[in-house]
Amino acid sequence: MGEKKALLENRERRIRKSKEKRQGSFKINPPNLKGLSMDLSFIRCPYQPLPLPSPHKVSRALTVL
């Protein structure tokens, strides 16, 4: 019984760690988000038609999230 409990605790700890890692990835991403907001400012700019690379950048940033 004790072994089973230890295994369960290990699994829960691993799940918790992977969740923390996933949340930690958001802390790594702000540079991407800054780039995305820059792309959006280009799109909003009235002088410039929608630039071609930015939708790809936006979708890439969203897939990273």
The per-residue pLDDT for 25 is 53
Q: What angle do CA 31, 39, 65 make, to 5 degrees?
A: 50
Taking only the tens of pLDDT, the chain with its 65 residues reads: 678 888 888 888 887 777 666 655 555 555 555 555 555 555 555 555 555 556 666 666 667 66
Whole-structure pTM over 0.95, yes or no? no
pLDDT at 58: 64
Residue 56: predicted pLDDT: 60
Q: What confidence score (pLDDT) does residue 3 get?
A: 80
Rounded to whole angstroms, what are the CA distances from 53 to 29, 36, 39?
19, 11, 9
Alpha-carbon distance of 49 to 47, in angstroms, equals 7
